[in-house]
Amino acid sequence: MIDRNKTILLTGATGMVGGVTRTLLEQSGFSRVLAPARQDLDLTDESAVYGYFARERPAYVLMVGARVGGIAANMQDPVGFTDVNLRMNLNLFSASHRYGTEKNLFLGSSCIYPIGHTGLIPESALLTGELEPTNEGYALSKIVGLKLARYYWQQHGLLTVCPMLSNVYGTGDHFDLGRAHVLSALVRRFVDARDNGAESVTLWGTGVARREFLHSEDAARAVLFFMDHIDQPDHINVGLGTDVTIRELADLIAQATGFLGEVRWDPSKPDGMLRKCLDTSKLQALGFTPRVTLGEGIRRTIAEYETIKRTGALKS
Ligand SMILES: NC(=O)c1ccc[n+]([C@@H]2O[C@H](COP(=O)([O-])OP(=O)(O)OC[C@H]3O[C@@H](n4cnc5c(N)ncnc54)[C@H](OP(=O)(O)O)[C@@H]3O)[C@@H](O)[C@H]2O)c1
């Protein structure tokens, strides 16, 4: 286990995974959790990152922050997604090396894997084929992060553990439609349609793409598990190991919200990768299993959105 009395730097704490991770760290007895917001520490600013490390001297660094977005946002700004994420990663790795951190975590994503897998995706699938074009730049920045983890380990002895998360949703997710991930976007669409008495909801694509969903609480538990129990830099998948089609997901959410109208599909919009379900046998053998089932996670997400809507805390 890592030392709860040493300083731990968590990036991205204003985001979904980072917010839940921050709560978990505090509940787990860490006495000094640093969680600067972007306006206090822009991770793309090299001199600001170096200055911060020189002042605060973190023993552990959790690289959770990233520029994250859905298909539309990634397609509109591939330069931004590639540039921001590469810079953040380069700055954090090099500052960690210069100021001698003891252990780091780099959070990856299942988008690092090539398209075309019909079975469960094992860790060994990395760099065996073409990436999904709609978020290629973001995926490439994550792959560079993984490679840097290995290079810094081999060349300088800096240990960075690398969980590869499947699609994350749940507590702390965004419901503003420009930023929401698919599950939360669907929750909003169906709750709003129910409340407005709409006759139908039209969704992007054909609904045949299959996706796996990991609750943000399980993502945060995985972050702590990797810091406490993993001691090598190879990436390891984190997910449920089971998936559903977007059509099945939409039906589950429609039912759970009580929406009684029709679900329509717009095939002129992209589906993204057809299947993306991780082989999680390696992590299970190491002793980690997610706890939140999809049904429970959907119910909780609906309740969270209804609360946000009721209290008027919703962005556009
Ligand atoms: N969501 C998923 O489905 C998923 C799946 C697999 C892996 N992941 C990984 O999980 C991590 C967190 O994702 P998330 O869904 O929680 O994203 P999120 O809610 O969008 O949070 C991203 C965080 O990064 C911060 N950030 C962005 N640019 C920054 C910068 N230049 N300097 C400092 N901070 C910056 C954001 O700050 P602002 O709020 O100020 O922008 C925010 O706190 C990412 O590494 C992502 O790749 C996510």
Could you read off the pLDDT of 233-252 as tens digits, one per residue?
A: 999 999 999 999 999 999 99
Q: For residues 108 and 167, what is the distance between their CA atoms, to the nearest angstrom?
A: 11
From 68, 86, 315, mutation site for ligand 1 pocket: most ligand atoms within 8 A of C-beta: 68
Ligand 1 pocket list (CB less than 6 A): 11-12, 14-18, 38, 42-44, 64-68, 84, 88, 107, 109, 165, 167-168, 181
More confident residue, 268 or 73: 268
Closest atom of ligand 1 to 174 CA is 19
- Beta-sheet strand order (sheet of 275-276): 244-245, 210-211, 275-276
Scan for tokens 């300088």, then name that residue.
Answer: 156
Four-point Cα dihedral 176, 178, 180, 183, nearest 10: 110
> How much is the pLDDT for 316?
59
Taking CA atoms only, the protein residue closest to ligand 1 atom 40 is 38
305 is an active site residue: no
Confidence of residue 40 (pLDDT cuts 50, 70, 90): very high
How do residues 158-203 score in pLDDT, each as one tens digit?
Answer: 999 999 999 999 999 989 876 778 899 999 999 999 999 999 999 9
What are the backbone angles phi and psi of residue 36, rounded to the nearest 5°? -70, 140
Taking CA atoms only, the protein residue closest to ligand 1 atom 36 is 12
pLDDT above 70: percentage of residues in the chain = 99
The mean pLDDT value for 42-71 works out to 96
Q: Using the mean position of ligand 1's atoms as its centre, give its distance from the Cα of residue 309 in Å.
A: 23
Predicted structure pTM score: 0.95
Closest atom of ligand 1 to 172 CA is 19
The mean pLDDT value for 109-119 works out to 91
Going along the chain from its start, the domains and CATH numbers come out as 8-168+214-238 (3.40.50.720), 170-210+242-277+292-310 (3.90.25.10)
Q: Among 11-20, 72-81, 84-93, 172-181, where is mean pLDDT lowest?
A: 172-181
CA torsion sign for 65, 70, 75, 77 is negative
Taking CA atoms only, the protein residue closest to ligand 1 atom 2 is 168
- Whose CA is closest to 305, among 186, 160, 143? 186
Confidence of residue 212 (pLDDT cuts 50, 70, 90): very high
The mean pLDDT value for 278-301 works out to 97
> How much is the pLDDT for 315?
65
- Is it the case that residue 31 has pLDDT exceeding 90? yes
CB 143 within 8 A of CB 105: no
Choosing from 138, 152, 169, 305, the catalytic residue is 138
Q: Using the mean position of ligand 1's atoms as its centre, give its distance from the Cα of residue 84 in Å.
A: 11
- Is it the case that residue 117 has pLDDT exceeding 80? yes
